[in-house]
Chains A and B, each alone.
Chain A
Amino acid sequence: MNRRTFLNWGTAGIAALCSGIAVSLAAVVRFLTPSVFYEPPQMFKIGNAADFSFGPPTFLAEEKIFVFHNRETGFAVASAVCTHLGCTVGYFQTDGRFHCPCHGSVFGADGAVAHGPAPRPLEWFEVTLARDGQLSVDKDRVVPAAYRLLV
């Protein structure tokens, strides 16, 4: 074997080894990424418009959303998940704001950060009227805070 052959085969061998390692690593990451998520659906129905009273928002614990129902402007749905570290915020009727129990973030009635470490305002989700007359919320569709559904 001469020098050139040795270097060629050596380079090819190292390249093959490196790509083998890279492919294996990618396969490990892909293996650890679930192909199916057994989690609650992002889009769901929450009931009829008449189920929601006017005034303070209704908190749906399972879905982690607040449903606002205003006589004039209609429905709006806010996320109850704090944008800081994912704790569930509470709505305080006394000051009409959202308070996070974990690190003290406070969000205004429109979801904007009023105080604390939260980096972004609370999210608002699209709420629509399904064919059967129920309200339908899609957490994959984030809408501006001004979004309203008048039923």
Chain B
Amino acid sequence: MNPIRDAWQSIFRRDPLSTDKGKSELVFLNVWLHIHPAKVKKENLKVKHTFYLGFITFYLFLILVTTGVALMFYYRPYPPQAYQDMKDLEYVVYLGTFLRNMHRWAAHGMVICVFLHMCRVFYTGSYKRPRQFNWVIGVVLFLLTLGLSFTGYLLPWDQLAFWAITVGTNIGSYAPLVGGRIRELLLGGHSVGQSALLRFYVLHVALLPSAMILLIMVHFWRVRKDGGLSRPVWKLKAESSAKLVSIGAPAEPAFRVVPASQDKTYGLMEVVTGKPTFETVTAEEEEDTVFSYPYAFFREAIALVATVISVMAVSLFWNAPLEEMANPAKTPNPAKAPWYFLGLQELVSHSALVGGVVVPALAVLALVAIPYLDPNPSRRPADRKWAIRAFAVFALVNVVLIVIGTLFRGPGWALVPPWVHIAGAE
């Protein structure tokens, strides 16, 4: 009897990794890894199918949680200490600037990656049956990302933060009937002040991250339950695409049980009768799969390391902005919201109600409804030219509005190209 081997085997109960059984057990006997399938389709590991954007987004979230908790050790959520703590992080706390930079740049990166991930899922038609609801969860996760960014934006309590939140919450107050009330509840007062800072802090470090973690779990779970990653579009043959998208209600043999081979065991799902509501793997496709260990895990690890190193590298060279302390008496000119809301601010500069409430509300509703409104069952790009064009316009309008708001708006919100310098303007 070997006590060390005993102890090891009490923790890791799997067979050696040299065996197929060991490779499977590594995945499904491990609470952290069992969200993966034991085997994955080779084609789904290809970078050009997903660009690993979902993983990168999740890794950025992990960086944000880690650095965020670290920053909490040195942050007091009331003015003016909040701003003094920023200065302490900058000049006194060991690695303070670096951690704050990482937190800020990872947050920006997450907004970008969520958006790109959404574009990828749209262009590959992966929101279609049976994955409609996971798209909806994705849209909510996108909104939560924006909410986390927005609440975090106030915490440094500098001029940038104060006026961005003043403008941002005033946009909300244009919502009919409940707008003013929501603003008062959010701020805990009539203007951005001490109670607003505390409320944004609680939302930022407790409420929204919890909601985020819960929904991320559901999102990942649904990826598995909806049949894993969608097949790459280049695998969709013209004649078979109709069959591929009819999953959920297979046309002919309602349910075909793949005959069991000698060295495999089957779970309960093979015994029950009825139609599967998820994509199933046929015997032929089984040939095309590899074990998650090491093929998928290795690629995911590469993506993780690349993400962390990128954020660290950016944080070494660029510092997160910090302006002077919040001064309710002095509005900076121009006063701008965070960059991802500058498209919204651009709309708001034309009309607060239409631009600030009606258009964004309709945009979110349209995003949520996409999988239910799109009647086209095919995922092949050739079959969905108009959907692709429409989404391209949507994405492009967003980008153009943000670029105008960020680079082309000067003092007094006048249209000024970025290469023109205005004397005295800060």
Contact A102 B413 (CB under 8 A): yes
Which of B188, B331, B414 makes the CB contact (< 8 A) with A87?
B331
- Min Cβ gap B4→A in Å is 54
Q: Using CB atoms, name the residue of chain A closest to B332.
A: A101
Interface hub of B166, B190, B353, B414 (most chain A Cβ within 10 A): B166
> Which of B191-199, B213-221, B229-237, B280-288 is near enough to bind chain A?
B191-199
Contact B194 A38 (CB under 8 A): yes
- Chain B residues proximal to chain A, CB less than 8 Å: 163, 166-167, 170-171, 184-185, 188-191, 193-195, 328-335, 345, 348-353, 411-414
The docked-state distance in angstroms from the alpha carbon of A86 to that of B166 is 7
* Residues from chain B with Cβ under 8 Å of A20 in the complex: none
- Chain A residues proximal to chain B, CB less than 8 Å: 29, 32-34, 37-39, 61-62, 64, 84-88, 99-104, 116-117, 119
- Min Cβ gap A140→B in Å is 11
Contact B348 A103 (CB under 8 A): yes
Contact A33 B190 (CB under 8 A): no
Contact B334 A33 (CB under 8 A): no
Which of A32, A62, A85 makes the CB contact (< 8 A) with B167?
A85
- Min Cβ gap B159→A in Å is 12
The docked-state distance in angstroms from the alpha carbon of A38 to that of B413 is 33
- Min Cβ gap B71→A in Å is 26
Interface SS majority for chain A? loop
Contact A88 B329 (CB under 8 A): yes
- Min Cβ gap A93→B in Å is 16
Contact A103 B333 (CB under 8 A): no
Which of B167, B195, B351, B352 makes the CB contact (< 8 A) with A38?
B195
The docked-state distance in angstroms from the alpha carbon of A64 to that of B193 is 15
- Min Cβ gap B268→A in Å is 34
- Min Cβ gap A27→B in Å is 13
Q: Using CB atoms, name the residue of chain A closest to B171.
A: A85
* Residues from chain A with Cβ under 8 Å of B193 in the complex: 38-39
Which of A29, A61, A86, A117 makes the CB contact (< 8 A) with B185?
A29
With A33-B185, A39-B189 known to touch, is A103 a contact of B349 (CB < 8 Å)? yes
The docked-state distance in angstroms from the alpha carbon of A2 to that of B409 is 73
Q: Using CB atoms, name the residue of chain B closest to A102.
A: B335
The docked-state distance in angstroms from the alpha carbon of A85 to that of B164 is 10
Q: Using CB atoms, name the residue of chain A closest to B346.
A: A103
Contact A102 B331 (CB under 8 A): yes
The docked-state distance in angstroms from the alpha carbon of A135 to that of B184 is 30
Q: Using CB atoms, name the residue of chain A closest to B334.
A: A101
With A86-B166, A88-B331 known to touch, is A34 a contact of B195 (CB < 8 Å)? yes
Contact B167 A34 (CB under 8 A): no
Contact B333 A101 (CB under 8 A): yes
Contact A32 B334 (CB under 8 A): no
Contact A85 B352 (CB under 8 A): yes
Contact A101 B331 (CB under 8 A): yes
The docked-state distance in angstroms from the alpha carbon of A46 to that of B96 is 43
- Min Cβ gap B17→A in Å is 51
Which of A37, A88, A102 makes the CB contact (< 8 A) with B190?
A37
Would you list 10 pairs from A and B whose C-beta atoms are within 8 A, ordered by A residue? A32-B188, A38-B189, A38-B194, A61-B329, A64-B328, A86-B170, A101-B413, A102-B334, A102-B413, A119-B352
* Residues from chain B with Cβ under 8 Å of A84 in the complex: 170, 352
* Residues from chain B with Cβ under 8 Å of A85 in the complex: 166-167, 170-171, 348, 352
The docked-state distance in angstroms from the alpha carbon of A148 to that of B348 is 34
- Min Cβ gap A51→B in Å is 18
